[in-house]
Each structure stands twice: as structure tokens, then as C-alpha cells.
Amino acid sequence: MQLLVFRALWGMTGPLHEQVERVAAAGYDGFELWPSQWTISRQEMIKLAADHGQKLIVGALIAQKDEIEPTLSALAAFDPVRINLHSGRDNMSAQEAAAFFEEALRVEAQIGVPVGHETHRGRILFTPWTTAAFLRQFERLRITADYSHWVNVCERLPDDEADALALANRRAVHIHGRVGYEEGPQVPDPAAPEYAAQLAWHERQWQAIRSAHEQAGPPVLTFTPEYGPPNYLHTLPHTHVPVADLWRVCLWGAERARAVLR
């Protein structure tokens, strides 16, 4: 099985072509972004990625059911490796959320691109138990595993949700490899020894996802060390100065993923 490591453009600055050049030079396999945040055309985006030997993961926020088909169709036109969605809202009723996923799965079957619904705060899949309920209801539903949010929402490393974690790990098509901790979705530096327990917990989940991929047969596992800028990244009071270098943190996460998921 092949591991592909992507760099989220979140937090990077400068013209898009310079960002992609830097990502490619750093050895990433591709980059991840939301096309709606950029003004260049789809054709230009595809060419930019190809010119630098980069693959694409694209994403979007879809808050309502009627946005699903046009959004997914537009994203699939980028010929991405994966599509990552911020799906719905955490205040949807169970019936509203089920209708959302029914429509998403209908469209996903037509576009031929793996879609991961992200386990993100504020979205439908914001807890392990909510996610498990929908994964049991919809056998074809797949997730982007960003468990940093679950650690934050649960305010613990949720080992007491072992069944939900095992199910989620089997259904993950993409990993957002950010280490969260009990009081927030992003540790300042995952290499810091004070976060060793949190790092180890996340890596156990990522390794379980890899094992599930190997057993199920998908040829590619995608991983993005999706650490973000302030205010995700901690800052010094009164100064807004980041306490760590975001580029180095992401690069460390990429190198670590290649070591533990090879």
C-alpha cells in the first residue's frame, strides 16, 4: 500500500504558485486546499499541480443538503485523489443529518472520487458516538479522520469509546494528522515531550487506519499533517506571536507519518 503525504495550504502565504513550489520542494506528494478560497480557474489549478508533480485533495464546507450535488460535482472536476467535506452542522436533528448523508452518498456514487466527511467540531460528526451511529446506519459512509477534534470535544483521550474508534478507523479514507489535546484541537508542537501521551494516542489510531486499509485493499492511504496558523497555533499573550514555526511543525508531522505509517 502506498502512503501519500499532503501539505494543507492553510496558513501559508504568498502567491499560489510559490506555495506549491515550496510544498513540492519539501518532498510532499501533493497539496490540500479549498478551491473556493482561490481565484484561479480549475484548469489553471490542475496544470499548476501537474507542473510540480503534485496530487490534489480538495474540500469544502457543505452546510445544507441542497448544496451537496453542485459542490461535489464541482470538486470532482479537479480530478482529486480525495474530497474532504465539512459536513452539515452539529445542531442538525438525527433526521436532518440522515437525509444529508443519504443525499451525499447518492452523489458520491456518481462522481467516482473517494469522499471523506470530516470528524470536525461544529459538524455532524463532531463526537465518536455520533459518528458511530451514522457509520452503522450508512455502510458506504466514509470519514476523514481528524481525531484532534474528538479529543477536544470529549476533553479526554477517548479510549472509553473503543468500539466507535475501531469502526471509524475502518471507515477512514483520509487522515488529518493533527495532534489534539484535552483542552484544544492542536498542540503547539507535537514533538514536545509534554505531549508524548497525546501523540502516541493519535498515532495508534493512524496505525489502525493503515492496518484496516491493508486488510480491505485500498491501494493508497492519504495523510495531511493539518496543523493550522493562529489561533489554532498558540501565541504569546498581547503579541500574537506564534510559539512555534508552523512550516517546521507540519514538516515534522509529515516526516513522522512516513516513519510510523510505512
Q: Which residues contact 116 (CB under 8 A, 6 or more apart)?
A: 82, 83, 84, 85, 142, 143, 144, 145, 172, 173, 174
Mean of per-residue pLDDT scores for the chain: 97
42-56 pLDDT, tens per residue?
Answer: 999 999 999 999 999
Complete domains list, the chain, with CATH? 2-260 (3.20.20.150)
Residue 55, pLDDT score: 98
Segments of the chain assigned E as strands: 2-8, 30-33, 55-62, 82-87, 115-118, 143-145, 172-176, 220-224
User: Cell numbers at residue 120, please?
Assistant: 470536525
Asked if the model's pLDDT at residue 218 lies above 80, the reply is no
Residue 217, pLDDT score: 80
In total, the chain counts a number of residues equal to 262
What average pLDDT does range 226-250 have in this prediction? 97
For residue 240, count other CB atoms closer than 10 A to its CB: 9
175/209 Cα distance (integer angstroms):
9
Nearest CA to 248 among 232, 225, 230, 231?
225
Residue 204, pLDDT score: 98
Q: Is 185 helix (H, G, I), strand (E, B) or coil?
A: coil
Nearest CA to 191 among 139, 148, 251, 240?
251
144/153 Cα distance (integer angstroms):
17
Asked if the model's pLDDT at residue 136 lies above 80, the reply is yes
Asked if 87 and 124 count as a contact pair (C-beta separation under 8 A), the reply is: yes
Nearest CA to 84 among 123, 117, 126?
117
Q: Which residues is 8 bridged to in the sheet?
A: 32
